[in-house]
Structure 1
Amino acid sequence: PPTEEQLQAMRDINVELHSVTLEPLRAGLASIRTLWTDLPLEIAFYTRAEFQQEVDQILNDNHIDLAVSFFMRTAEYVRRRPNLPRILVAEDCRVEYQSRSSSSARSLHQRIVRWWETRKLLAYEPEVVNDFDLTTFVSPEDVAAMRDLNASASYQVVTNGVDLDRFAYNDDQSSRSGVLFAGKLDVLANHLMAGSIVRDIFPMVQVLHKGATLTIAGANPLSSLRTMLGEGMELHADVPDLVPYLHRYAVFLHPHHGGSGIQNKVLEAMSAGCAVVTTPSGLQGIDAIHEVHCLIGTSDTDLADNAARLLGDPDLRQRLARNARVLMEQTHSWKHVEQQMFAAITTVLHTAS
């Protein structure tokens, strides 16, 4: 549950917060409903009777002009409310996410779960958007994927933003060195990326750039990741703040494959001035150009070559980092996101009036 400090921070900006605790074990058991209902696993996990009661109480006791469901996992709570204008902030196309992720799954268990979830979402996702006046996604690619599933619903792009002040730009390339990967390391996609760097990509970087070092930083790393580390590689677990890392390292290496949506960690690295090496899917929803804002690779060899190239060329790092920061200011500031969201709200309320 949120701390009192977090609750007060919400009150300070005039947000009335109703907290409902999710018990993972109970929610996990409730996910079994996916076998006999139309609910995908992720929806069954988060759909709780006590949450529904809280929402119903708020809607019954107050005049609500607009309901905004953040993530599809909250869509169930308001989708069947008559005469209530509704926006679903879906972020990404979940069918696209699961189908892409299944191709990169390494274990039989992962492949089975991804197959099942894709199957359930193919029925659920195109239907649930019909119950909302507008559904927003973080990238044009997600909108296009959703239109392939349901062309009749209304969609709009509302991208993700980055805190430009917190992830302040550091232009000093002379003090930077080494390769960084950072993220929440108990998230499967991040664990797989970290493992790919350690096992497949960084050994090639070490051959190309003598003395190269790698740091993986983030919360809750799995024990199996630590056992993979070799010479010149470090794991920094549960660091309180990633900003100093983004200011210290020369290259942010991001071997993204599969998935959908937008990569916030790439936005943060670009904002902070850490030169980015990633894949085409790692830039979904980000208007970055190869050799202008970052370096892009489509294979492990490409990614290793690009990382080694940047380690040896501080001028190139600086040019890419400066261009990337300007791109973040122009297209991923909170002001930009606010304008997109305000346009979505205005559209729905105008239609409802």
Structure 2
Amino acid sequence: MSNILYLVHRLPYPPNKGDKVRSYHLLKHLAARHRVFLGTFVDDPQDEAYVDVVAESCAQMHAVRLSPRIAKLRSLSGLLTKQPLTLSYYRNADLQAWVDRTLREQRIDAVVIFSSVMAMFVQRVSQHKLVDFVDVDSLKWTQYAPRHRWPMSWLYRREGERLLAFERSVAAHAARSFFVTQAEADLFCSFAPECVGSVEAMCNGVDADYFSPQHDLPVPFDSQELPLVFTGAMDYWPNIDAVTWFAKDILPPLMRILPTVRFYVVGRSPTAEVQALANHQVVVTGTVPDVRPYLRHAAVVVAPLRLARGVQNKVLEAMAMAVPVVASQECSTAIDAVPERDFLTAGTIPQFLAQLKAILGEPDRARAIGKAARERILARYSWDAHLSIIDHYLEP
């Protein structure tokens, strides 16, 4: 058993959004085998209730409260330097002092870093460092740029360039770096050829016992409607873009064909832009106590993301619930499953309309795709099987 310093940019619980799902399961995996010293931020007041829950899994934990509003203002100080604004957003003297003290007072065998930005707290230490980048975050900012006007386009492009430089530096000083798919790992290596040989994939999993169609879950929909469901954190720009595109460009022509369809946007923190979509045909739920009833009883789960990095947990969870999924091509390329058998894919408005019209009109085919999806999840997406990759690099 080793002593592991685990640094995470957001409290890894509850597992109710993509990054927290992965960071939570990684914490659970590490804590079952090692003594974990966790340093993290709490950036959502609702997460305060779970701080003690997380602490129970750790030998020691230090959680720093972070106000997103203040952090955004502080991040602008990065414009005076050559550093990415993301570093200024998370820079914190309190957490730095705790990290330094922990490294000084505890016999830390290895440092596990979740999200590249947390590497700034251990830049000058000699301990064995493993970095879970998850995605190539810098590319996400670069992709935002052409979708916005100046000056935001310039700001996003600058952030992408500066963050990539930081990611390369972090990977160069790490014993091993991980990405959520092999495609994402290869993409990073194309930008950072000096890191080839020290980068590999560590895929996401899904808790197939929790996300199971066997649970008796209440029906949240009207019996006369055909519910289409999207799940995700609704203050995240790619999710906002996805539901806006679907509600404005795909749903209206679909309703002319199938007038009983209704679009449910299920997820925490919907922005004003998302809330404005709500009408008779679009339901914006906000935070729900349990997302599973919406998945279990959906006619179809849609994932029309036009900007997507890595594996989308929302897709895996829906597949685990044996629900047919229609995903954008940006989502589908990262899924280890067979299109048209385990899920459906679409890239354009006509393609989405064709796939949805077909699957909603063929209940037997919908059930067959859902069944195949569940079987694929059971065969390929065990958390322990994927996360065991990191164990080799944590051996004493």
TM-score > 0.5 by shorter chain: yes
Q: Distance in 1 between matches of 2:259 and 2:72?
A: 47
Q: Distance in 1 between matches of 2:275 and 2:190?
A: 41
| 2:344 equivalent among 292, 295, 299 | 295
Which AA in structure 2 matches 1:102? Answer: A
Distance change in 2, residues 1:107/1:184 (3 Å): farther
Alignment of 1:153-232 (within 5 A): 153=195, 154-169=198-213, 177-232=226-281
Which AA in structure 2 matches 1:20? Answer: V
Distance change in 2, residues 1:298/1:225 (3 Å): same
Which AA in structure 2 matches 1:312? Answer: G
The answer to whether the Cα contact below 8 Å between 2:323 and 2:373 also exists between their aligned partners in 1 is no
1:18 corresponds to which residue? 62
Q: Structure 1 residue 109: deviation in Å?
A: 5.2
Q: CA RMSD in A?
A: 2.4
Distance change in 2, residues 1:15/1:277 (3 Å): farther
- 1:262 counterpart SS class: coil
Q: Structure 1 residue 225: deviation in Å?
A: 2.5
- 2:308 counterpart SS class: coil
Distance change in 2, residues 1:284/1:38 (3 Å): farther
Q: Distance in 1 between matches of 2:63 and 2:105?
A: 17
Q: Distance in 2 between matches of 1:275 and 1:101?
A: 29
- 1:113 counterpart SS class: helix
- 2:265 counterpart SS class: strand
Distance change in 2, residues 1:216/1:281 (3 Å): same
**Following TM superposition, where does structure 1 have runs of at least 4 consecutive aligned residues deviating by more than 6 angstroms?**
none
1:253 corresponds to which residue? 302
1:55 corresponds to which residue? 99
The answer to whether the Cα contact below 8 Å between 2:322 and 2:371 also exists between their aligned partners in 1 is yes
Which AA in structure 2 matches 1:150? Answer: A
- 2:374 counterpart SS class: helix
Distance change in 2, residues 1:286/1:341 (3 Å): farther
Distance change in 2, residues 1:37/1:106 (3 Å): closer
Which AA in structure 2 matches 1:76? Answer: M
Unaligned segments of structure 2, at least 5 residues = 1-41, 217-222
Q: Distance in 2 between matches of 1:15 and 1:250?
A: 44
Q: How many residues align?
A: 344
Distance change in 2, residues 1:247/1:168 (3 Å): same
User: Which one has more relative contact order, counting CA pairs under 8 Å at least 6 apart?
Assistant: 1
| 2:139 equivalent among 96, 99, 113 | 96
What's the CA shift string for 1:148-189, capped at 9, x where partnerless?
1222321111112222122113599xx894211121111111
Q: Structure 1 residue 231: deviation in Å?
A: 4.2
1:85 equivalenced with 2:128 (yes/no) = yes
2:384 corresponds to which residue? 335
Distance change in 2, residues 1:316/1:65 (3 Å): same
Q: Distance in 2 between matches of 1:235 and 1:72?
A: 33
Alignment of 1:25-36 (within 5 A): 25-36=69-80
Relative to total residues, which structure has the larger strand share, 1 or 2?
Answer: 2
Give the structure-2-normalised TM-score: 0.80
2:319 corresponds to which residue? 270
Q: Structure 1 residue 102: deviation in Å?
A: 3.1
Distance change in 2, residues 1:273/1:30 (3 Å): same
Which AA in structure 2 matches 1:290? Answer: P
The answer to whether the Cα contact below 8 Å between 2:135 and 2:179 also exists between their aligned partners in 1 is yes
| 2:184 equivalent among 110, 123, 142 | 142
Percent of paired sites with the same residue: 25
Q: Distance in 2 between matches of 1:171 and 1:305?
A: 31
Distance change in 2, residues 1:291/1:171 (3 Å): farther
Q: Structure 1 residue 106: deviation in Å?
A: 4.6
2:23 corresponds to which residue? none
1:39 equivalenced with 2:83 (yes/no) = yes
The answer to whether the Cα contact below 8 Å between 2:242 and 2:305 also exists between their aligned partners in 1 is yes
Which AA in structure 2 matches 1:146? Answer: F
Give the structure-1-normalised TM-score: 0.89
Q: Distance in 2 between matches of 1:85 and 1:137?
A: 18
Q: Distance in 1 between matches of 2:99 and 2:337?
A: 40
* 295-304 or 25-34: bigger deviation: 25-34
Q: Distance in 1 between matches of 2:366 and 2:136?
A: 33
Q: Distance in 2 between matches of 1:229 and 1:51?
A: 40
What's the CA shift string for 1:181-223, capped at 9, x where partnerless?
1211111111111111110011122123232222112112122
Distance change in 2, residues 1:318/1:120 (3 Å): same
Q: Distance in 1 between matches of 2:365 and 2:143?
A: 32
- 1:162 counterpart SS class: coil
